[in-house]
Amino acid sequence: MLSKIRLGIVAELLTSEWVAFSELQRALDASQGNLGAHLAKLVDAGYIEETKTFVNRRPLTQYRLTSQGRAAFVAHVAQLQSLLKETS
């Protein structure tokens, strides 16, 4: 979760039941390839889940945060905050 875009993905998913790939791309202003690569890393880490369906014959890929991802996000933000405290 060290990468800014991966942290952004998890933050986007934090208050949502699920978010589509296109919506994440719009929200994070990321390129398709870059976003896809970061999403794959988060899926591999077990932080998010991917669901692929078809809507009106078009593929729809949705992502949701896992409980493991939520816990990792909380721990990561706490570490960021402690880092800021130490340096201030």
Partner 1 sequence: MEEQLNAAQARDHIEMVARILEESQQRLCAGGEFFVVWGLFGALVTLLGHFVAKGALPATSLWAALVALAGAIVFSIWRGRALRMASERRSLLQREFFNVLWITIGMAFVANLAVFNIFRGIASAAIWNFADAIVLLYIGLHGNRRAQVAGVVVVVSLVVANFTSGDVPAYVLAAGVLAGYCGFGIAELVSPD
Binding site for partner 1 (CB under 8 A): 1-2, 4, 7-8, 11-12, 14-20, 22-23, 27, 55-56, 60, 76-77, 79-81, 83-84, 87-88
Give me the least distance between CB of 7 and partner 1, in Å please. 6
Is 46:67 a contact under the CB 8 Å cutoff?
Answer: no
Bridge partners (DSSP) listed for residue 64: 49
Give me the least distance between CB of 65 and partner 1, in Å please. 10
The residue type of 78 is A
> Nearer Cβ to partner 1, position 60 or 71?
60
Cα–Cα distance between 82 and 49 in angstroms, integer?
29
